Structure 1
């Protein structure tokens, strides 16, 4: 076999006669045709009226046809003869359509193939059979194919990759395994098994793209940006260069989504990404971090002022009106900037400082760029840092719920739990509620956190019930920002519907200070009790106390604040207050639960004065949901 065999044109010449002959696979049909042709020729010879020139011309054409037909029959009979040596194996392989395979003779001609190979090449069986395999292979891959087939004919299996052009016109990359077919210690052909690498490569490229790029905008994502930022910081350190980082947030982007829908929001993000190219050089780098937040990396700066100038150029580009489906929309953005001037920050520290600068811009009215300053006090930095990370925590689902059991004072059985939010920070660890709840209230994020707590507590309680544990109510604290919402009752109803929790197993806790607006409180509590949920007054005795609301509002339970319970054994005044609260509540048919119970003496005092329920560290600290499942079996009465 020579290389010339594999150097034929991309497609062999296929005139109509050749195609017709190649389809004459039935030997009886071929024999019949030959007999008819011979008969016609003989009759023509007998008829003397026909000119001799015509007779000899007809004879010549007949001989050409006979030779062509004979060649086709010889090739087919050879294929049958070759395949007969390995008939059981070949038949088994050819029946397997999942693996494309073909049998090639020593001259490189396709002698047999299965439907899998037909699908791979895109040609019909008749178009492939009896033709050189190389004629269907891309010209640049024919040498590789020749090498593999040559190794196989020498008795050595060989594999490699080649390129073909599918009949529909698109290129494919195949992995071929060429194995010799041996009979009586003689190689009589090659078994070629192929595997399409194109889909796998496309999938690998797609996975890689998804890992490092944002599908919506086509920009690099956070992962790739941090990789490039680290590389740039290392290079800048070695070459004494100034690198600038900008963290940008679109102002009031949520309003666009709420007003026009997410489709418009996505279109806006794509157009914002396109605007970066007009104000950033090729060596600069932009990425979409998450939501409506972008990060911009500027290299080889001359000064921090230049970074601020670049940032404001970006803001100016964003301020130009956008057109979304014919609607003009104008937005602004805020940018926090920082440089590697001190040379001691890693990528995380720089991103964090840029975030802090961004938060400062938002506090100052938005639509500006601000450079991070080391002069900011540690308290301010920590305050801003925690507040900004809390916003991230909501998106990244870093909040978790702990549950503190509540017990019946007489039986000691568990009769409920209070859901308490905790922040499990990926770096700082568990952050105490006292450190982040005030910040959440100050920033307004307490509403988002509170909504999540309500739904998660109801979901978990329903899960406990579905797992066969005894049903009990879960108490959820409402913030004042939640309580003043006009649609609070409908929100609670929606949560109960989504989670499937019966309303009798949800208890909502409000503080005394929330009851000052009598009209709103009355209307809101009536709407909530109409749903069937319980209402408790939390931290009773520490705020705005009024017997009027206890008498007129639909309240089910009072919670005595831990500050009174703590000193009931040492302070006679606290003891009298606790006893009076219990007696007054019972006169109004209101249950009483004492918080912060930590000693046996406190339990005995509360039991003596007929307190109904208790919770505190004497029995259990707040614990994860898994612990509650273990405790329920032993304590629930």
Structure 2
């Protein structure tokens, strides 16, 4: 705060300091405790939780400031203020109202009854502390002014020099509100020079308006003279200068009294707070909005969800919360770079904004997660319609730097009060529903249900088990034999990871593998499986059983820039000749970036290992990569093997794959062989290798070794 008039005119004093005392009146113990803690280091704090108690303590302790709640259990805060102002002993106390009411009538009443300031609940403690501090300063300055009035007559010239030097604007008037003095800061802010302003009414020189409504505001000097008390400038006040420049201003006016106590005029001290207000507004916006999209963030969203839930209880409507997650966004972000990822996030935000209406809140709560809050829903059908519109809108390509990107989203929906009774539960339930949508194939929306909640908790439990297994190196690797179909000899094995729960039961890979991919654990999991597999193959080789081990590589592993280096290091650490390692990659993992895929595959091939395309025939890629990439093996997907005996189309696909493999001089492996008929068909098509339950399921390492030793 700038130094005020009353601070600079005290010329000769021994000790002008005195202890401050503040009375806090509120019937909520928590509010009393919080406010007392915020103010206890700047004043002695006294508390009361009733109106009558407040009056008694005010008379007893004579506080300088009272923070007064309007709603009290015995009498209202407005009545308390009225009684204090009518009591000569307490009439000079500064009353600051604190209330949850936001209607303007309460603000008008509080000012009419003598209140100095008005603070809205929930209380911003920093703002409250600043305002109380300012008013305490004014109290100090008021005391100093009274002390200095005896010196004003003989110190006029010195006072004028001082007034012209301080950083605040100062204007003095006579008792008819006509200007008698202005300092240079006041001249600058009003646009008037003093010799032209003197004699004019204060309202003509100081054009005050409400910053929001633009309605004219009564000058504090007018109120100070009329009510014979010090008056703070109205909240949200702006001053328009003679040249049209607008300043946001604050501070106060006070009557000027002679030695006999007669009012001879008034003085107003004010300063420009435009930059402070702009900064406060900016900081508030930044605290509640996402910096990339400028959408509400999780903090602001939580407040709006909580409010919507409260309103829904009163009006009987529903509230819907949609958690929107971009499918495979991390993969896109990793492969295309954060610049492209950020641009796509902003484009998705704009497209979502174009769909929703003004009554809907759209927020960004995570990297690629958005939330749509739909309040006052009269029918669940409306939720379906909005969710369908969102899915459809996402099907249109997004253009970034001249390139098109096709995206899909998964949407989880929670309804209040149907399945959630709080903001926290709505977010949790929507999150569970969103993961259900992903498990069902993505590009869809799902609602929360009790079964879904169970699956959500199960998912959390599996995540915990997986993390513990990775940390303690307790993942298991089982091996499924791969045989030569001609002589039925075991020539290889596919390594398959297994995870056990606390009771020792196996958890399905369908549950923990996708979870590992979504939580970013897949690289660590893949590294563990690859190391165990190479270690086993090296042991078999040392015992005279040279068997090639095949290890699956997840798409996210394949995009790891250090993947080649990691594979080479494992081969070196385990001392396994690279010819006994085969890496199985799905078609979809190869097709994101041709140049990068070619670099990785060639790097792996240069290590001396072989590359197999897993689940061949189920992907969507061009066949040209088979000729351009260093691929050694094609594995026919088990779905075709299963159906080819009875389904001609599946048989034709298997024939086409085997013919293609032979023409490109690639080895071919049939997966999922369960019957003799399937085996005979593959042999007739000259398929060299195969695996499946007809021969053996995947076995623990010791059981697999019993087959080969």
TM-score by length of 2: 0.40
- Whichever of the two has the greater Rg, that structure is 1
Q: Counting helix residues as a fraction of each chain, which structure ranks higher?
A: 1
Work out which structure has the larger RCO, using CA pairs closer than 8 Å and 6 or more positions apart in sequence: 1
